[in-house]
Amino acid sequence: MLITEAVAFLPADPFPNGIEHYAVGGALVGLGVVVIYLATGIAAGASTFLESTLSYVSDRSRFQRYRASRDWRVVFALGIVAGAFVYALTFQSGLVSSSLHQTATTGELRDVGGLTIWVTEVQPWRLFLGGILIGIGTRVGKGCTSGHGVCGVGSASSASFVGVATFLLVAIGIAQLVQALGVSP
């Protein structure tokens, strides 16, 4: 029953934007984790940064336990922002192009002095409320899409399989519900 309903949801073309840039981008996401892992032995996730960074401004015991790793987590997060900015400078701005790259089909592309920036059309309240729940959930649940989804699944960790299955199924349900309620984008 659930399966037939799910099949009814399937689009005629499951990959309307192709798969190349998804596969290349995903491999690079994994490569970023691998570079850090091979050099340092650390399987880095992106969400601990939220708590470890709070240790700079809060004395609460929960945040202080991340004191030891807070500096490099800030560097990791800045690296992520910088890497995405390099993408914006090159492929997003059209300075570099490749048959493997797909131009954005969503949101809004804006030209700012030769640099093309991309801005979401998803409403601020969705980003804000979603962010709060993500901030709570990822820390209670011991990881996010990178910690559980990339490092944890890559480690064949049962906790991470359960974590990913849980947030993926719940997110699908919520996204479908929000869409059914007519909220867009």
By CB under 8 A, what part of segment 55-84 binds other proteins?
A: 58, 60-69, 71-72, 75-84
Can you tell me which of 86, 94, 95, 97 binds other proteins, judged by CB under 8 A? 86
Q: Which of residues 97-156 bind other proteins (CB under 8 A)?
A: 101-102, 104, 106-107, 110, 112, 115-122, 124-156
Give whichever of 58 and 94 is closer to other proteins, judged by the CB atom.
58
User: How far is the CA of 12 from the CAs of 8, 16, 27, 35, in angstroms?
Assistant: 10, 9, 27, 38
Degrees to nearest 5, angle at CA 72 with 69 and 78:
135
Min. distance of Cβ 95 from other proteins in angstroms?
14
Q: Is 179 in the site for other proteins (CB under 8 A)?
A: yes
In the list 2, 4, 9, 114, the residue contacting other proteins (rule: CB under 8 A) is 9
3-state secondary structure of 114: coil
Pair of tokens at residue 71: 């500096």
* Burial call 2-34: b when 16+ CB within 10 Å, e when fewer: eeeeeeeeeeeeeeeeeeebeeeeeeebeebbe
| Least distance to other proteins, CB of residue 109, Å | 9
Using CB under 8 A as the binding rule, the residues of this chain from 11 to 50 that contact other proteins are: 11, 14-19, 21-47, 49-50
Alpha carbon distance 46, 138 (integer Å): 10
Least distance between other proteins and beta carbon 4 (Å): 14
